[in-house]
Every structure is written in C-alpha cells, then in structure tokens.
Structure 1
Amino acid sequence: MILFSAHAEAALARRRLRRAWIESAILEPDRTEPDAGAPEVTRSFKTIPDFGARVLRVVHRPDGHDILVITAFFDRGARP
C-alpha cells in the first residue's frame, strides 16, 4: 500500500499532483536513485505526458510492508 505523509498530502493539493502519477512513478519509474543523505530513501522519476512531459520526482521510503511518500514535485532540473 502507498501511504502519504502529511507533507506529501499538502504537496499533492498545492502542486496539483494526481495520486495516479505518484503511484506510477513509484511502481513504474523511468529511473530511481538513492537519497544521498538517507540511504533508506529512494527518489523515483517519471515523465508525465499529461503535464507537458515534465519529470515528476517522488521521494519515498519503506514503512513496514507499505511505501511512505515523503514528498513529490516536478523537478525543473530533471530531463526525461
């Protein structure tokens, strides 16, 4: 199950992000990388055609058998 932190919930509303985009980035990412400051945290990147082909970055970590989304945003520096 994919869970959302309070920060992630607020980011979804403020940044007009769809849950389906976030789930797709986690389950079928274009690429992933570990977070430099926290090895248990993963950054998943996914190009979102419905949003001008911008790249969505989803930061998440395992939470037991679940996945906790910490934050998500369109990464201005990322390339498809």
Structure 2
Amino acid sequence: MQYRLSDHAKKRLQQRGIKLEWISAALTFPDQTENDPEDGTLAHALKDIPEKGFRRLRVIYNESIEPVTIVTAYFD
C-alpha cells in the first residue's frame, strides 16, 4: 500500500523509535483493523511487532485520500 506521512507522524515516529518497515507491515498485513470512533475518514491498523517484544503498534491513517496519509503511530 502506498502512503505518505503527515508532518506530525514524521515527528512522532522519530520520537517513538518506530521504523517505516513496521508501518508498512501494519498497513499491508494488519493483525486487526478498526474504524476510528470519532472520525469516519480515519482507520486504525494494528500489528504486533516481534522486535519490540510483540508490543502492538497502532497506525492511524486517513483512508479517504490517495495515497493514504499516516496521521500518527504509537505502541498501545
């Protein structure tokens, strides 16, 4: 899946030590997906990351535009 990072997401990924390969894995092969409870244009892709002790990565993205835009990402 092609995507772009918002400026906010770029900052947060760097601060949180989240690799782009993990973002791609979450978007391409999510363990779970959820609709955002407050914003219908946003979706959440969740992926357990083995390199982080199987912590769950949550990637929030806007799916209403092409390419999809990553809004933020963090470990639950």
Quickly name the TM-score band, shorter chain normalised: over 0.9
Q: TM-score, normalised by structure 2?
A: 0.93
Q: CA deviation at 1:61?
A: 1.1
Aligned residue for 1:65, secondary structure, equals coil
Q: Deviations over 1:4-63 (max 9, x none)?
A: 001100011100000000111111100001001011100110000011110000000125
Equivalent residue for 2:31? Answer: 30
Does residue 21 of the first structure (1) align with residue 22 of the second (2)? yes
Structure 2: where are the runs of 5+ without partners? none
> Does the CA-based 8 Å contact 2:59-2:74 persist in structure 1?
yes
Identity of aligned residues (%): 33
Correspondence for 1:61: 62
Alignment of 1:34-53 (within 5 A): 34-53=35-54
CA RMSD of aligned residues (A): 1.0
Structure 2 residue identity aligned to 1:5: S
Aligned equivalents of 2:65, 2:41: Cα separation in 1? 12
Aligned length: 75
TM-score by length of structure 1 reads 0.88
